[in-house]
Amino acid sequence: MAAAPSAVCAFPDDLSVAGFDDIDLARATGPMLTTVRQPLQEMGRMAVSLLIRLLERQRLDALHIELATELIVRGSTGRVPTV
């Protein structure tokens, strides 16, 4: 995002930028960064649960685990322009 001003881009009118993980730095940038927040505590609990099952030699069938994420919209993204 630091290079965009030298390219004469205006956020979010000319260029939208989004990140992932919603780290603290996302709120310290100018403009604040739109990002996706993951349920890190839930991911950790799931990992520990699976590890315990493995250590207890329980059978693990193929897994598909889907956890909810959240889009945190901030100033680095704008509306899609109409053509």
pLDDT at 4: 55
Q: How far apart are CA 70 and CA 38, in angstroms?
A: 7
pLDDT at 60: 82
Q: How far apart are CA 61 and CA 7, in angstroms?
A: 51
pLDDT, one tens digit per residue, over 6-58 is 566 777 888 888 999 998 888 888 889 999 999 999 999 999 999 999 999 99
Residue 66, pLDDT above cutoff 60: yes
pLDDT at 10: 77
pTM over 0.75: no
